[in-house]
Amino acid sequence: MQKQKLYNTEIEASRIIYGCMNLGNNRNRPELNDEEMRREAVKSVNAALEHGINFFDHADIYGRGKSEEIFSDIWKAHPGLRDKIIMQSKCGIRFAGDPASGAPHRFDFTYEHITNSAEGSLKRLKTDYLDVLLLHRPDPLVRPEEVARAFDDLHKAGKVKYFGVSNHTAYQIDLLKKYVTQPLVVNQLELNLIHSDLINAGIITNQRKPETFIRGEGTLEYCRLNDITVQAWSPLALGEFNKEGSDLSNVISEIAGRRNVSSEAIVTAWLLKHPAKIQPVIGTRRPERIAAVCQADSIELTREEWYKLFIAGRGEDLP
């Protein structure tokens, strides 16, 4: 697996990130008990490691903390692994009923929640530090001074090396940057062939009838200008690109067949082709699908292939 440096850091990361959201979640497979989930999680993480992935993405809410806890089983299988991999977690989303009944689902960037969440992630992951901590979704009530204080205290204590955001627009990042002393090194955003709005926004300016109403224009360009690494969550669009008979499915199948690789590899390679050096965050638990995705690392799509995929994904020709 090729590596790339996260801007403004000393981190050498795999181009593809393994997302750990599903490790502690048996929603789609209720027959799995706790022990079976743990064994499957270790197999999934081992498969990612075997294919050269060294970057693992978490969040305090994944499996309500269970995903981080289960991931820590990997230390038993691989003593000494911690300092060879990169671990990132996210905070800021609170469930309904937390901490008291009647509390709504909400976002929380208060000093107390950020620091408590980071401490909880460290405890569940059985580690002394996080390489990166992201703010998960923008909090309309954010007081950037509180965020700055939380980041400073976590950094000074050696508990978090670097910081970033997720699902933030350019202006939301600028607001934080006015107060936060550490560089914001990551913005994790939904981006894939079907949900390509961040790229599409750059070509529908001044069009009378854009097919979608897009907010956050310029976010991708802002990240490039400010050396913020873009990570793409849901890069495989939950498998929607596989809808039989669709134009997108046909284009993917044609390119995959000609290159003798998986469809997942083509979808992932489309993101890797972008000059922003986007890092796809994959979340499958199946080792064979992890292998299929990682084929993308050896693929360099042509400009023509990239645009054929882009047009098929957006559902109409370019302006």
* Active-site amino acid positions: 62
Rg (CA), the chain: 20
Following DSSP, what letter does each residue of 182-234 receive, concatenated? S-EEEEEEE--SSS-HHHHTTT-TT-SS-SS---STTHHHHHHHTT-EEEEES
b/e map 110-137, b = 16+ CB within 10 Å: bbebbbebbeebbebbebebbbbbbbbe
- Grouping H, G, I as helix, E, B as strand and the rest as coil, residue 120 is helix
b/e map 20-53, b = 16+ CB within 10 Å: bbbbbbbeeeeeeeeeebbebbbebbebbbebeb
CA distances from 30 to 3, 53, 65, 190, 241 (A): 36, 28, 18, 27, 26
User: Whole-angstrom Cα distance, residue 187 to residue 165?
Assistant: 5
Counts for the chain of helices (H) and strands (E), in that order = 12, 12
Selection from 83, 22, 25 nearest residue 54 by Cα: 83
Asked if residues 95 and 140 have their Cβ atoms less than 8 Å apart, the reply is no
The DSSP secondary-structure symbol of 178 reads T
Q: Which residues are within 8 A (CB) of 42 and not within 5 positions of it... i.e. 6 or more apart?
A: 73, 74, 77
Query: What crossing angle do the helices spanning 34-50 and 287-294 adopt, rounded to 10°?
Result: 20
- Helix (H) or strand (E) holding 107, with range, is strand 106-107
